[in-house]
Structure 1
Amino acid sequence: MEFLRAFGHDVLTVQEAGKANQKIPDQEVLEFATSENRAVLTLNRNDFFRLHRLSSDHSGIIACKDDLDRERMATRIHQAILQEESLRGKVMRVNRPAQ
């Protein structure tokens, strides 16, 4: 998360939101993010794609493939966000580079 913050993004982790070590249903994560006007950044692609199909009334979903190089992953996320005027109601896919 520190790399995304270095790019100027306002990032709030589940742990920072006081939800550490709790099993929070994906629907509740999305509802909380929407109420805070925040996009969700997730590695849990399929569940959040399903939630988007049920309703696109959210502040955005950024679905990533995990990358052990966190700086490279943050750079790809940042570049994807810059290409959009708004994330509201959208799902963005951020993939790992081909090896």
Structure 2
Amino acid sequence: MALLLADENFPAPSVERLRQLGHDVLTLLQTDMAGLAIPDDEVLAYAMSINRCLLTLNRKDFIKLHQQSTQHAGIIICTFDIDFVALADRVNSCLTTETTGRLLRVQRPNL
């Protein structure tokens, strides 16, 4: 089981599937940070403060943040996939490895 924080752009059906797979997924919508356009570095700092790996579709900005510092619980960047269950299943597959300080890429097949 992984401790995850899904940012606001991560699909809710994928979050639900990850929960069904046994992961503890907190969403920004469940926090007091929802809808406030919190800067990405603050979202990552929050994830780090609660020791959760960050799930996001915002690849470009979080790659830059990872390049600046690997002091985080992990970042999983995903390409959008309308098949939300398949997206969650690919995320689940990458969670077999340690996430701390790592940038993990989950891509839709055939890109």
Name the TM-score, length of structure 1 as normaliser: 0.94
Matched, 1:75 2:63: no
Runs (4+) off by over 2 Å: none
Compute the TM-score of the two structures, normalised by the length of structure 2: 0.84
Which residue pairs with 2:55 in the alignment?
A: 41
Comparing both structures, which one devotes a greater share of its residues to helix?
Answer: 1
What 5-or-longer segments of structure 2 have no aligned partner?
A: 1-14
Q: 1:89 aligns with which of 87, 97, 101?
A: 101
1:65 equivalent in structure 2: 79
SS at match of 2:17: helix
The structure where strand makes up a greater share of residues is: 2
Give the root-mean-square deviation of aligned CA atoms.
Answer: 1.0
Could you tell me the percent identity over the aligned residues?
A: 45
Tell me, in whole angstroms, the C-alpha distance in 2 between the residues paired with 1:87 and 1:97: 22
Shift of 1:18: 2.3
